[in-house]
Amino acid sequence: MMTVDEKIKYIKNWFANQNFNNIELQHSVPDNTHNVDYLVEHELGFRPSSLNQLYCVIWITDDGYLSFTLETWNRIAKKLNIETKSIRFGGGFEPCTQNVDEIIDLLELTKEGLFIIEPKIWPIVGLTSVKIFLETELYSQIKNPNVKKWIHSAKQIRSDMLRFEPWS
């Protein structure tokens, strides 16, 4: 089993081998005062320069568990030219896997822009919910139930769903 440092190095090596020009990898140690269930030792944020590319964050806990979150309500609202006061993530899961290859698989889907976002917007209220989708064929390839429970299968892609460009 990989140590926390080995997982960080593995993910950073994956990133370095991609040669992205418009994606910044930010590695930080977050403030854990808001969370009592686990201790996040490292946060790896993959920040695109464009709202047309997906943003994601990986957390690594002190005991080596990994989480993955995708987009923020704030970025989605900016993309739609609407307001939101929410600081929530669009989707993702709490630390629940120790398999770094599962995280790399999600990074691969993210870098290709394959996640689809369905925002729900109410007049006057603004952004009220967000759902994350993958096309049915890609969705069926995900095996981890903790990962699968935050992603929906897109049997049909509607015009109100947000598509994204690959990372470059």
Contacts made by residues 23-29, CB under 8 angstroms, sequence distance 24+: 23/47, 23/48, 23/49, 23/53, 23/111, 23/167, 23/168, 24/48, 24/49
| pLDDT for res 83 | 84
pLDDT at res. 109: 97
Residue 35 is predicted with a pLDDT of: 61
Query: Domain locations in the chain?
Result: 4-154
Block residue for tokens 């964050």: 57
The predicted model scores a pTM of 0.94
CB neighbour class for 46 (10 Å; exposed up to 12, middle 13-18, buried from 19): buried
User: Which parts of the chain sit beneath pLDDT 70?
Assistant: 33-36
Nearest to 69 by CA among 52, 55, 53: 55
